[in-house]
Amino acid sequence: MIDKVEDTAADIAWMRRLAEEGAQAPMQGNSLLMFGGLLYGLASLFHWAVVAGVLPLAENQLWIGWVVATVGYWIILAVTIPRLRRNAGVSTTANRAAGIAWSGMGWGIFAMFLAMAVLGWRLADEAALNAMFALIPSIIMVFYGVGWAVNAAMQRSRMLWTLSLASFGAAPLLALFAGQSEQYLAYAVALFLLMALPGYLLMRAAKQA
């Protein structure tokens, strides 16, 4: 009887230790954050270079950079997500919550662009459309702020809370440059510093864990 009690206690202790290790597991999918920040940061630089006259292209060719970035990111998603699922290891609540948050954020951005496309088709006021599209960088930074906030809450990380607050703070700062070519230069800097660089650092930390 005593042996059975000791075995049960040992099993409970082992399960508790396993749960604690799972809760401390590093966040997954950091490479996706890095590549997203890099690709869309480069697309934003391309946008700025065209509008500022650095590249000899017309403004009706601005779509090229964004389409290339989006197609490139889809390819990375198609390659990376199956690999992450194969190497998932312990599936923690934190990882599941963060994955759902970032996935929802991506679909939210997609829905926002669809809504703006519909508005562009419905409205004939060019000034209103320009003002609406000038808000896109700010709105996306708000989405990123929410994503980092979920990560920060799940990981109990002050650094991630700082990233979340910085992303929220970047939104009104980017709006200050609305209507100027510098807006997309500033947006590129925000994407590199608040998405690509943190994604790389988190990915490196996860590999070392």
Q: Say which residues have a Cβ less than 8 Å from residue 205's Cβ, sequence separation at least 6.
A: 26
pLDDT tens per residue across all 209 residues of the chain: 554 445 565 555 544 554 454 445 566 678 889 999 999 999 999 999 999 999 998 888 888 999 999 999 999 989 988 887 776 555 566 677 777 878 888 888 888 888 887 877 787 667 767 777 888 999 999 999 999 998 888 888 899 999 999 999 999 999 999 888 899 999 999 999 999 999 999 888 877 76
Structural domain total, the chain: 1
Query: pLDDT at position 174, please?
Result: 96
Q: Which H or E run contains 16?
A: helix 2-23
Give domain status of residue 209, yes or no: no
Whether residue 199 contacts residue 37, with contact meaning beta carbons closer than 8 Å, is answered with yes
Give domain status of residue 162, yes or no: yes
Gap between the Cα atoms of 140 and 134, Å rounded: 11
Give domain status of residue 184, yes or no: yes
Residue type, 11: D
Gap between the Cα atoms of 205 and 209, Å rounded: 6
Domain span holding position 95: 27-203
Give domain status of residue 22, yes or no: no
Give domain status of residue 19, yes or no: no
Give domain status of residue 49, yes or no: yes
Whether residue 7 contacts residue 131, with contact meaning beta carbons closer than 8 Å, is answered with no
Query: pLDDT at position 207, please?
Result: 76
Residue written as token pair 């992303």: 167
Query: pLDDT at position 103, please?
Result: 81
Give domain status of residue 16, yes or no: no
